[in-house]
Amino acid sequence: MSAQGGMKNLSTAPGVTAQAWSVLLASTLAFLVCFVVWMMFGVLGVQLREDLHLNSTEFGLLTSTPVLTGALMRLPLGAWTDRFGGRIVMTVLLVTCAIPVYIVSYATALWQFLLIGLFLGCVGASFAVGTPYVARFFPPERRGFAMGFFGAGTAGAAVNLFITPSLQAAYGWRFVPRVYAVALLVTAVIFWFASARDPGAGQTQRSWLDSFKVLRNPHVWRLCQYYSITFGGFTALSLWIPQYLKAEYGMSLVVASAFAAGFSLPGSILRAVGGVLADRFGAHSVTWWGLWVAWICLFLLSYPSTDFVIHTIDGTVSLHIEVTLIVFVLLTFALGAVFAFGMASTFKYVADDFADNMGVVTGIVGLAGGLGGFLLPILFGLLLDFFRVRSTCFMFLYGIVWVSLVLIYLSEVRRTPVAGRATG
């Protein structure tokens, strides 16, 4: 009785039905579980790095391989969602991906993990399915919130950081993928019965070739740039930070994963808040100011532990500068929050400007973000092996954010009238 009353209260929101809320909750659960699975190598890889004697570059390749197919599959899955509907595509995806996830438990060599990782990584493409699917159940003025709420399923990155180390410590790492394979199947059943037929399925009359003509629009490429740093940076750091904390601050894997959640959790939960802010103030304002905050945080995180010897008139003075653990957690918390806002505001752009082609554009933008999440951990490893400075990962992201700020200034801010820019 109370559950029904709660659903009725939710459905009183203007233009939002009880069915819409059910679809949103079921889709968010599915995306959360998929994200847990997608990120599991970020934790398992720390142990595998020792077992397989991997260098930093190989570790980056191991953790990022699932992200590659999760990125590449977003484009076709977004298009299939427009054609066949989110309910069917999401269910098939959950069931199919349970197979390679289970097979991971039998891998013994790096090439086997990389090969299987390519297949299990398809779970990361669930974002391109759920985003247009849930948006179609909500009125335009509530879509920023709906997509932000669904995007909060990236909390799976934080859930992974809590659950995976505990399961691994108690039962061994091979037990983890077996549990997650069962979780995918259970989630598929829940999703099917809690979701509804996609009202946008088969509505498009475009051919496949016509659908992808949107790539000629330069605005799509700008959105790809924004999302490659917000989502790509969030994904890459969610994979990289546990081993960073373990090496930099001497933590155990369980403790390092718990502290890493200080980045992943706000970067997930606050995505819904970012959607509300984008509805209220416009996608441009949220993206612009969020990138400025990220730029400042990354500047501070980039500074390696340093000792200065200053020659004064009274002799030498030594000065030590470092990012302490508490400062690191606070800065990554803020960074995760603004990345979450940026992820939500990017898809507010998509919903406003490409409402009739949302599945394909979601797939294109999601592909760019996923490729960022794939390439960045590999680049982090290469930079660490070459320069031997752990904070080079933040230095690199600092440079990318700076480029993004320049691009958004040239394409949008400089063209903004003094009286103000229309929201959205």
Rg over CA atoms, the chain: 22
What three-state secondary structure class fits 69?
helix
For the CA atoms of 381, 296, 229, 34, the dihedral, rounded to the nearest 10 degrees, stands at 80
The pTM of the full predicted model, rounded to 2 decimals, is: 0.73
**In 3-state terms, the chain is what percent helix, strand and coil (to 5)?**
80, 5, 15
Kindly give the residue spans of alpha helices, DSSP state H, lying in 53-155. Answer: 56-72, 74-84, 86-103, 110-120, 126-135, 143-151
Tell me the C-alpha distance between 286 and 419, whole Å. 18
Of all residues in the chain, what percent carry a pLDDT higher than 70?
A: 91
- Residue listed under structure tokens 């990120």: 39
Listed residue (370, 299, 306, 374) closest to 334, CA to CA: 299
Backbone angles phi, psi at 318, to 5 degrees: -95, 140
CB-CB contact of 75 with 128 (8 Å): yes
75-116 pLDDT, tens digit per residue, is: 888 888 888 899 999 999 999 999 999 999 999 999 999 999
Tokens, residue 10: 């939710």
Q: Which amino acid is at 249?
A: Y
Listed residue (378, 389, 381, 373) closest to 56, CA to CA: 381
CA-based torsion, 73, 78, 80, 86: positive or negative: positive
Listed residue (65, 76, 133) closest to 347, CA to CA: 133
Is residue 226 left, alpha or beta, with left meaning phi > 0 and alpha meaning psi from -120 to 50?
A: alpha
Length of the chain equals 424
What three-state secondary structure class fits 195?
coil
All structural domains of the chain with their residue ranges = 17-413
CA-based torsion, 277, 278, 284, 286: positive or negative: positive
Could you count the other beta carbons within 10 Å of the beta carbon of residue 281? 14
Tell me the C-alpha distance between 360 and 215, whole Å. 10
What three-state secondary structure class fits 310?
strand
The 3-class SS string of 330-352 reads HHHHHHHHHHHHHHHHHHHHHHH
What three-state secondary structure class fits 397?
helix
250-286 pLDDT, tens digit per residue, is: 998 889 888 888 888 877 778 778 888 888 888 888 9
Q: Is residue 226 within a helix (H) or strand (E), and if so which, with residue range?
A: helix 218-249
Query: Would you call 237 exposed, middle or buried from its count of C-beta atoms within 10 A (0-12, 13-18, 19+)?
Result: buried
CB-CB contact of 369 with 230 (8 Å): yes
Q: What is the pLDDT along the chain (424 residues), one digit of tens a residue?
A: 343 444 444 444 456 788 999 999 999 999 999 999 998 998 898 889 989 999 999 998 999 899 889 888 988 888 888 888 999 999 999 999 999 999 999 999 999 999 999 999 999 889 889 988 998 898 887 887 888 889 888 888 889 888 999 999 999 999 999 999 999 999 999 999 999 998 877 665 566 666 677 778 888 888 888 889 998 998 899 889 998 999 999 998 889 888 888 888 877 778 778 888 888 888 888 999 999 999 999 999 999 989 989 999 888 999 999 999 999 999 999 999 999 899 888 888 887 788 777 777 877 888 888 888 889 999 999 999 999 999 999 999 999 999 889 888 887 766 655 434 433 3
CB-CB contact of 357 with 287 (8 Å): no
222-244 pLDDT, tens digit per residue, is: 888 888 999 899 889 988 999 89
Tell me the C-alpha distance between 144 and 252, whole Å. 39
Q: β-pairing, 315-321 with 306-312?
A: antiparallel
For the domain 17-413, what is the CATH superfamily, name and number?
MFS general substrate transporter like domains (1.20.1250.20)
Residues in Cβ contact with 280 at an 8 Å cutoff, skipping those fewer than 6 apart: none
Tokens, residue 22: 């059910």
